[in-house]
Amino acid sequence: MSTNLSNYDIYVYKGNSFILDFKYTDKLNRGIDLSNYEAKLQIRRSRYHDELVAELTENYPTGCFGRGLSGDFLSGQGVTGYTGGLILNYEAVPGNIHMHIDSETAFAIPLGKNSYDLQLIETTTRIQRTILRGTFELLPNTLSAEREFAGINGGEIGVVQ
């Protein structure tokens, strides 16, 4: 049984890594070879916001970009250096897509509802198609509050007891 993933909401706890593996298929449920495609996933505060709070590219494992100290950013200008990104035809299986957001990037995304979309770009024609979109909601957790208090996210240095 296939699932229509074209509108798929994602929920992540602040500071947790996020991995999603799925298969992009044709009408007969066969994996589509993505060898001639590039991919980009962008997360924005809203679908109408130009600046990004996170971006994934195929430069795995350093294809996960976040906000850094300067805040929201334009495509190609985020901070990376952690683990993450996109892999097309993951594990050499046509249509398999691997999406990975590292914990540091997820920690920097603003709490609440954000919007995201995943685009495939055909390398010869440059035709772009959005294959996945929805709400990317970042949820608070106890560890996030403790990390902020301990100075990891700019808070004052302290001891959590």
The pLDDT, as a whole number, for residue 141 is 80
Angle (nearest 5°) at CA 122 between 120 and 125? 140
Q: What is the DSSP letter of 30?
A: P
The pLDDT, as a whole number, for residue 142 is 65
Q: What is the rounded distance in angstroms from the CA atom of residue 38 to the CA atom of residue 29?
A: 21
The pLDDT, as a whole number, for residue 70 is 83
pTM: 0.82
Q: What is the rounded distance in angstroms from the CA atom of residue 149 to the CA atom of residue 158?
A: 6
At residue 58, what is the residue type?
Answer: E
The pLDDT, as a whole number, for residue 113 is 97
The pLDDT, as a whole number, for residue 158 is 35
In this prediction, residue 68 has a pLDDT band, given cuts at 50, 70 and 90, of confident
Buried b (16+ CB within 10 A) or exposed e, 92-108: eebbbbbbbbbbbbbbb
Range among 76-85, 90-99, 138-147 with highest mean pLDDT value:
90-99
Report the residue count for the chain: 161
The 10s digit of each residue's pLDDT in 7-60 is 899 999 998 999 999 999 999 999 999 999 999 999 999 989 999 999 999 999
In this prediction, residue 156 has a pLDDT band, given cuts at 50, 70 and 90, of very low
Ranges assigned E (strand) in the chain: 10-13, 18-23, 37-44, 52-57, 64-65, 85-88, 96-101, 112-122, 128-139
Residue 71 CB neighbours (<10 A) = 10
- End-to-end Cα separation, the chain, in angstroms: 49
Q: What is the dihedral of CA 89, 90, 95, 101, to 10 degrees?
A: -110
The pLDDT, as a whole number, for residue 35 is 97
The 10s digit of each residue's pLDDT in 85-122 is 999 999 999 999 999 999 999 999 999 999 999 999 99
